[in-house]
Structure 1
Amino acid sequence: MDSSNAGGVAAKLGFLYQDCAAALFVTQMLLDKRIEAVRCEVTDDIDILYSTHTEFVQVKTSDKPRWSISTVTTRARGASNNLIADSSIVHKSMQCASAPLDKCKFRILSPRDCKDPLDFLEIEISKRDGKSGRQVLIDELSSKLKNYVAPAGNTVSDWVDSCWWSVIPSLREIELTALNNIRNAALSLHGVILSAESVVESIWANILITMTKKSALDRRVYTEDDKTYHRDHFLAWFKAEVLFYDRSNSHSKVYVHRKLPSVLVQLQAPFESPVLTRNGLALHQRYQMGEYRYEHIAKNICHWFDELLLRPSEIADFISSSATEKYRVLRARLTDSANDLEQFLGNALLHSVMRLRHESQPIPATLYLDSKDDLKVFENVHIVQRNKGGDELWLGVSKLTKARTVSQVLNALRDALYDDIVNGLDGVREKVLDVKEDSYLLNHDVDEILDTSNSFEDHLERFRFVVFFGYESSLLTIPETKGHESSLYEEAYELFVEFISDLKKNPVYAQLNIELYIYPAPSFDDLCDLLAKKMRDDK
């Protein structure tokens, strides 16, 4: 007699469906910041950890045509064929709950849909208001389960109100949805168009293998964390994969993947600050053979000219344009910038620091202002993406001074910044919302904080103000005085302490997030003279 392996095949298909579902939820982490992690076989088949709650997903494959009240309330049988108490699908799902109950959601995922009245669960929870069938379902489930109450205290009605029955008919549909998530995330997060199907499928296969391995780990040996894929770790891996496969560089997101040079470097550790809303950092450049590296600074600032002087649409156009055309446009703007070279230098240094330290996307708002417009616009406006929470808007100002009264100049800059924020930020928000070219930027969510119908204080934690302050230090001698760096750091730190000392008198400003970058230099005249020569040569 031929033996049948139908049971084994069905079991393997069920495991594959579950692993594919877990991998699908991982791809959803790319597009949904609320999802912090996905874990396998810890509490339920799959647990999706959101920032606000946990969703316990029970995966059920079956060759039965449709699910019914009877099939979801039937208890399982043990080794001796005896019914196991509280072992039905609904029992097990309810038992996943823990206090507080409002932090628990439930999902049944299956290739099959449900019969009436169980099909009420197929309506998404947020869309159930006004829909009939809830009470009939609760009554029938309660009758079958004898008014069961789970250990956490949740009732059948609690479960019905927190459970969604999700139907994905086939493995192929899971796969197609996941592949689409990968493509969309590559473009929106990293500006990469994954046009080759094999590349997308390779990324999907790696995610599926990872989740299959995690689901197979024995909880008696491995920890809960071993069976969990955290969003931060996954996003880092995904970025590396996308950039590895991005050979053509054919995307229109002009500010991503640019290999632009660092102009200044960090001097020792960030400053210690008594308040979380104030951060400080000393920046500098080293000497080479006893000479200060003016040449390095001036040469590398030239590599930033297009980002500083061109709109994103112009940068994108120049990808296919000739160098002659590109520099014809740059020539006029370089000439205008040379009229106030010290201001241009400060702006350029701040721009390079923000771009490289935070992988930000700049919005060159100052390029769009009419010359008669009196509106104060920050010299640097950047979007900084965040894996968790809303994306941030960083607004920067710069100042280079040759004055002896350095701390007074810095404090005056700080006070002017306060005034710009209090009296002018709404106008800046309107201007930035109007001028940013989203088609050339990665996907972001700063529009809501730019909406002036609400006070900027409603989203204060998502605004960060950056001050770049350069001054001439007597510690930077020509030729170099060896061992000067520790003294230079202390000098810069004293300026930072003075900068934040106002908070004792004006605590209301302590709620503003402000970053201070301090750059001591030997001579700004020498640096500007060399930069002017470089700008003439580039023209």
Structure 2
Amino acid sequence: MNDISNSGGVAARKGFVFQDHVAARYVLNMLEDRRIEQVECETSDDITLRWLINGKRFVEYVQVKSNDVDRWNWALLTKRDIAKSPTSIVEKSLLCDRGPEPGHFRIVTRNGVHSGLAALTVPLAKRGPTDLDDLSARLTKKYPTISARGSNLDYWARHAFWEALSTEDDIRAKNVWIVATLCDGDGCSLRSEQIVTLYRDILELVERAAAADRRVPADKILTRETMRLWWSDRLRSLVATRPGLGLPYRIAMPQFLVKIHEFTDPAKPRATTGYDAEYERKQWRSAQLAGHLVRWVPELVLKASEIAQTNHLTLADKTGQGLRKLRELRHHGVERLLAETLLHSILRSFFDSEPIACKLFYRTSAASGVVNNAHIVQHHEGDQIWLGRTHVFRGDDFDALIASACAELEDALATPLLRAEREIILELRQPEHLRRDDVEEALADSAPIDRFLRILRFAILVIYDSAVLGAGHSDDYRARLVSELTGYGNAYHSRLPASVEEVQVHLLLVPVESLDTLVRDFEAAACLT
């Protein structure tokens, strides 16, 4: 007698596989949709999604049912495992609603539903006000169940969505397609086997989170910020094996500077970061820093379309072209060229930015503003445009520098200048050579300048002669340098005028042992003499 079946362990394992693919799909959605803040595996429910939409947070509890049912119906939704206990699918889903944020609910199955549950398959935003009245009345009449937040089954019906996703093979194929689409949007032309590998890596993260101990909640959570960083790192490693493909800014050079100080104001949009070039055999690395900056020159002076045509055969030509263009602009002053290159390198290396062509090197039909470096920085809360301003500071009158820098920043916020900046960015930006971003709406000519301001962050670079570094190497120089950076950062932010209170300002401090020496080293490395 043949009594072999897939019940028990085999069926359970198939269910877990289906659930893992569903969770992976939400992780992929989260990479693209910043409204999803995090995906949780096996916490409050099978999968839990935390959303932030228009400033309002809510939690979506997802139950995944892999049962081989032709059509889900009323009886299956409301059948209790224990007659006098709230153990039906609908009640278990409702009872997840016990946190501080409002709850939404989702049932994910392989197959669809009978007509009695069809209203649940319509997305919440597309439902009419009375579409769920009949189902709600039946549910509340059948069970008086109340969640810990005080919600009943009427609330559940009006905040629940039923989603049919077919088999794990189908959802896997769709997920792989999403991975390919995301890669394409980020400028990465990967081989099909690399795309499959990338999806397997995501699936492994999901499986690990699902299997993690509930007593360590952080191990069961995949946040958007963490996953975006993970995604960027994985793409870099994959595209590095396929040089010449993708977008020109997909890979940044290794970091030369070291971040030694960081401060973010919890109450205001203010931040300070301090960097150090460090010592080598007790000699401050001036010549090495200059040489590193020269390697960034092609990116600084060439447009994205020009860099995109570069491969290992034309790299030397492009580098030479960049240095020639830099020499043509020598009349701007070597100090200024050094500072602009340094700012570019920091934004690229530490903030994974994508530059818009530097205005020092390209004439535009728009009037010139007070900034030259403009970069797009992808952020988990919304993509930003960083406008850069550089200051080279000698001497000990830091108050004078602060006063000058604050005045320039205040001038930059004048509405006519902001409009000019937006026009220049539109003129120089080459979106076909950049990763996907969501700054388009704010850059539109018809958009109010307030919308442009909301995505702006001013990056203020100050490169200065450091008293600590000028005194030479000592074992405790790092601690004293951090103290110096902290003092300068606090002094700058405390002097910012009230007119820029709501504007995001990020101060970037780079202390050097001797500006004169660094300028000479940069001049020599770039053949500007």
TM-score by length of 2: 0.85
Which of 236, 248, 252 does residue 242 from structure 2 map onto? 248
Match in the other structure for 1:279: 271
Match in the other structure for 1:366: 359
Distance 1:372 1:406, change over 3 A: farther
Match in the other structure for 2:331: 339
Residue 332 (structure 1) shift: 4.5
Secondary structure of the corresponding residue to residue 43 of structure 2: coil
Residue 320 (structure 1) shift: 6.7
- 1:211 paired with 2:202, answer no
Secondary structure of the corresponding residue to residue 415 of structure 1: helix
Distance of 2:192 and 2:364 partners within structure 1: 46
- 1:350 paired with 2:350, answer no
Superposed, 1:375-414 pairs within 5 Å as 375-376=368-369, 378-387=371-380, 389-402=381-394, 405-414=397-406
| CA offset digits 1:335-361 (Å, max 9, x no partner) | 322122221111111111222221221
Match in the other structure for 1:107: 106
Distance of 2:467 and 2:131 partners within structure 1: 80
2:236–2:250 CA contact under 8 A, matched in 1: no
Residue 258 (structure 1) shift: 2.8
Distance 1:187 1:250, change over 3 A: farther
Distance 1:414 1:70, change over 3 A: same
Secondary structure of the corresponding residue to residue 199 of structure 2: helix
Which of 150, 174, 197 does residue 153 from structure 1 map onto? 150
| CA offset digits 1:289-347 (Å, max 9, x no partner) | 67654422332221011111100110011227635653564355223221222211111
- 1:54 paired with 2:59, answer yes
Which of 163, 168, 179 does residue 166 from structure 1 map onto? 163
Distance of 2:157 and 2:344 partners within structure 1: 53
2:261–2:486 CA contact under 8 A, matched in 1: no
- 1:536 paired with 2:527, answer yes
1:192–1:249 CA contact under 8 A, matched in 2: no
- Name the amino acid aligned to 1:408: A
- Name the amino acid aligned to 1:138: S
Distance of 1:272 and 1:32 partners within structure 2: 25
Residue 418 (structure 1) shift: 1.0
Distance of 1:216 and 1:289 partners within structure 2: 48
Which of 64, 69, 88 does residue 64 from structure 1 map onto? 69
Match in the other structure for 2:78: 73
1:430–1:451 CA contact under 8 A, matched in 2: no
Residue 446 (structure 1) shift: 2.2
Distance 1:346 1:163, change over 3 A: same
Distance 1:106 1:346, change over 3 A: same
Match in the other structure for 1:436: 429
1:260–1:303 CA contact under 8 A, matched in 2: no
Match in the other structure for 2:189: 193
| CA offset digits 1:183-232 (Å, max 9, x no partner) | 2333445x3222233x333333344344345445675xx44444433444
- 1:180 paired with 2:177, answer yes
Residue 434 (structure 1) shift: 3.9
Match in the other structure for 1:134: 132
Secondary structure of the corresponding residue to residue 31 of structure 2: helix
Distance of 2:473 and 2:317 partners within structure 1: 46
Secondary structure of the corresponding residue to residue 126 of structure 1: helix
Distance 1:103 1:303, change over 3 A: same
Secondary structure of the corresponding residue to residue 87 of structure 1: coil
Secondary structure of the corresponding residue to residue 382 of structure 2: coil
- 1:467 paired with 2:460, answer yes
- Name the amino acid aligned to 2:271: N
Secondary structure of the corresponding residue to residue 310 of structure 2: helix
Secondary structure of the corresponding residue to residue 319 of structure 1: coil
Distance 1:6 1:514, change over 3 A: closer
Secondary structure of the corresponding residue to residue 108 of structure 1: strand
Distance 1:430 1:103, change over 3 A: farther
Distance of 2:102 and 2:338 partners within structure 1: 52
Q: Greater CA deviation, 332-341 or 204-213?
A: 204-213
Residue 280 (structure 1) shift: 3.3
Residue 458 (structure 1) shift: 5.2
2:279–2:473 CA contact under 8 A, matched in 1: no
Residue 384 (structure 1) shift: 1.8
Residue 255 (structure 1) shift: 1.2
Q: Greater CA deviation, 291-300 or 391-400?
A: 291-300
Q: Greater CA deviation, 54-63 or 274-283?
A: 274-283
Secondary structure of the corresponding residue to residue 495 of structure 2: helix
Give the gaps of 5 or more residues in structure 1: none
Residue 483 (structure 1) shift: 7.1
1:365–1:436 CA contact under 8 A, matched in 2: no
Distance of 2:281 and 2:16 partners within structure 1: 65
Distance of 2:147 and 2:267 partners within structure 1: 46
2:367–2:420 CA contact under 8 A, matched in 1: no
- Name the amino acid aligned to 2:412: D
2:183–2:189 CA contact under 8 A, matched in 1: yes
Match in the other structure for 2:306: 314
Residue 283 (structure 1) shift: 4.1
Residue 170 (structure 1) shift: 1.2
Match in the other structure for 1:509: 500
Match in the other structure for 1:22: 23
Distance of 1:371 and 1:417 partners within structure 2: 22
Distance of 1:364 and 1:371 partners within structure 2: 11
Distance of 2:467 and 2:218 partners within structure 1: 53
Which of 181, 197, 200 does residue 202 from structure 1 map onto? 197
Count of aligned pairs: 520
Distance 1:238 1:469, change over 3 A: closer
Secondary structure of the corresponding residue to residue 57 of structure 1: strand
| CA offset digits 1:257-287 (Å, max 9, x no partner) | 232552x545x53469796444334445456
Distance 1:75 1:317, change over 3 A: same
Distance of 1:471 and 1:149 partners within structure 2: 64
Superposed, 1:421-500 pairs within 5 Å as 421-423=413-415, 424-451=417-444, 453-457=446-450, 462-472=455-465, 480=472, 485=477, 494-500=487-493
Q: Greater CA deviation, 393-402 or 108-117?
A: 393-402
The structure with more radius of gyration: 1
Distance of 2:485 and 2:238 partners within structure 1: 43
Distance of 1:39 and 1:135 partners within structure 2: 31
CA RMSD of aligned residues (A): 3.4
Distance of 1:118 and 1:165 partners within structure 2: 9
| CA offset digits 1:460-490 (Å, max 9, x no partner) | 5642212222344576659x47579466666
Match in the other structure for 2:40: 39
Distance of 1:223 and 1:494 partners within structure 2: 39
